[in-house]
Structure 1
Amino acid sequence: MTAAQFEAALRAEGVTVREVGSWQTHTRTAPGRPWGPVHGVVIHHTVTERPTDPVRLCRDGYSALPGPLCHAVITKDGTVHLIGWGRTNHAGGGDPRVLDAVVAESYGERPPAPTKGNKDGVDGNRHFYGFECENLGDGKDPWPAAQLEAIERVSAALCRVHGWSAKSVIGHLEWSNDKIDPKGFTMPDLRARVADRLTGRPTAPKPKPPKPSKPVKPAVDLSQLIAAARRDPARPGTPVSYPGVRTVEKALVKEGLLTAGLADGHYGTATKDAYAAWQRRLGYTGPAADGIPGQTSLKKLATKHGFTVTP
């Protein structure tokens, strides 16, 4: 397959592709470092966190391991960034038994754990396409549905072109005994999805139900409430000078101290009398039960009826 055919295969599978620089000639292929024959696909995670750019990192590599570090990077939004072609530094050494199983299309759902790794294994960079997928790799960083679908699509695209089954798609941890990637989803599940796509039954990951958000409690500003309690009774009509009054009035209605029709947001005489009754219920007498809210009485009302008090 040529670089152009590789790109065309991904686009034909519905993948969102972005070409990065002269990716077609960015390679580690050289005398003594051959490319091919290619037998499968290896999936990795990047172990990167923003603001680190996983695309640039995988394209350029670093001093101990020059880039490209894969053929393409799949970011969390599902975009597939093409960064290299031919041999790339992604798979390293791995178990020859795994390579034999991939070639024979006999890689099962419960394959033996690899016993060889980067230092003593066979050359995987020669025989596999590699995709680095943006993720912290801690098992907690989420894998968005768009990203998982892109991984499924690129894997299916290459299997389709080469006539492979989904058993030609493996994870780095299934290739080398010193690797753990990808972490956060299982390769048997990915292979099942690729198999379904190859037979015309593409699947989508089941989204996790969102965590129910805690309702936000309304807040009542004590100083503004006191100002309304002192100002509103003398004002003509029922002007609303502070919206938090209505929150307090609703609580007084539930206490049976104020008629529902008078919970109008205006701290008038009826509301003042109702609040005075609440203060007397708490044991206050005389001037302490004058219908002007205090911090202690208001906080007790707030605790009972689900709002908060700010000074």
Structure 2
Amino acid sequence: MAAPLSASAFLAALRAEGVKVEEVGDWRTHNRDHKGPWGPVNGVMVHHTVTSGTDASVRICRDGYAALPGPLCHGVIDKAGVVHLVGHGRTNHAGGGDPKVLARVIAEDYGDRPPRPTRGNADGEDGNARFYGFECVNLGDGKDPWPSAQLDAVERVGAAICRAHGWGALSVIGHLEWSNDKIDPKGFGMPGMRDRIAGRLKTTPPGK
């Protein structure tokens, strides 16, 4: 377990890993902290937006909608690999998930995948307190492509936060690995992405 990174440390970690960052408005203080705890943090969660277009995707992830107020993540990863920071603190991205998965992420002792989740948004543990969240611009239909620049950014983001906290790649999971009623990210596999992150963590970040 770890205390969340400050906004400045979060930004510095991303930039040190070579992440292309765009700061959106008042992202440093835009959060849902009044609704519940933020931390201790235990990992990074990857999502897809089910939207298209960078501007529209960033806007909905920052502002949310009637049923789910924003921010809906900490950063939006567009198809060009730019990470748009929209919030810092508690955000509405993870929802409820399986405490067995959280335990395995904390211990970093699972194999290819965490145990299959048996609990979800309605009956699960509060993931918004425990995970950094990144939404990737993708329709999530299995047909919308994942450009190499976007996947490279997912890798760098995961490595940046893991490196800052002293975590390994097993601390990075997909939403579908957390909750039994989610399918994201769809279009690439999290085991392969964790392999990429693990490889990057063996190297010196370009910004050091």
Q: How high is the TM-score relative to the length of structure 2?
A: 0.94
- CA 1:82–1:51 in structure 2 vs 1: closer, same or farther (change >3 Å)? closer
Task: Supply the distance in 1 between the matched residues of 2:140 and 2:7 (Cα, whole angstroms).
Answer: 29
Structure 2 counterpart of 1:6: 10
- CA 1:67–1:157 in structure 2 vs 1: closer, same or farther (change >3 Å)? same
Flag the structure with higher helix content. 1
Task: Supply the distance in 2 between the matched residues of 1:177 and 1:124 (Cα, whole angstroms).
Answer: 13
Displacement after TM superposition at 1:156 (Å): 0.1
Structure 2 counterpart of 1:174: 177
* Structure 1 unaligned regions, length at least 5: 203-311
| RMSD after superposition | 1.4
Which residue, 85, 93, 96 being the options, matches 2:96?
Answer: 93
Structure 2 counterpart of 1:81: 84
Matched ranges for 1:218-233 at <5 A: none
Structure 2 counterpart of 1:275: none
Which residue, 24, 33, 49 being the options, matches 2:28?
Answer: 24
Displacement after TM superposition at 1:106 (Å): 1.3
Which residue, 124, 130, 135 being the options, matches 1:132?
Answer: 135
Task: Supply the distance in 2 between the matched residues of 1:14 and 1:112 (Cα, whole angstroms).
Answer: 32
Task: Supply the distance in 2 between the matched residues of 1:107 and 1:42 (Cα, whole angstroms).
Answer: 16
Structure 2 counterpart of 1:43: 46
CA contact (8 A) 2:96 2:119 kept: yes
Give the number of equivalent residue pairs: 201
Matched ranges for 1:1-311 at <5 A: 1-30=5-34, 33-50=36-53, 53-200=56-203
Residue type at the aligned position of 2:80: D
Deviations 1:98-140 (A, max 9, x none): 0000111113204321000000000000000000000000111
CA contact (8 A) 2:32 2:90 kept: yes
Residue type at the aligned position of 1:53: A
CA contact (8 A) 1:46 1:132 kept: yes
Residue type at the aligned position of 1:172: H
Task: Supply the distance in 2 between the matched residues of 1:3 and 1:75 (Cα, whole angstroms).
Answer: 21
SS in 2 for 1:24: helix
SS in 2 for 1:142: coil
SS in 2 for 1:153: helix
Residue type at the aligned position of 2:46: I
Structure having greater relative contact order (Cα 8 Å, sep ≥ 6):
2
Deviations 1:263-289 (A, max 9, x none): xxxxxxxxxxxxxxxxxxxxxxxxxxx
Give the % identical residues: 70
Task: Supply the distance in 1 between the matched residues of 2:79 and 2:54 (Cα, whole angstroms).
Answer: 14
Higher-Rg member (1/2): 1
Residue type at the aligned position of 2:33: T
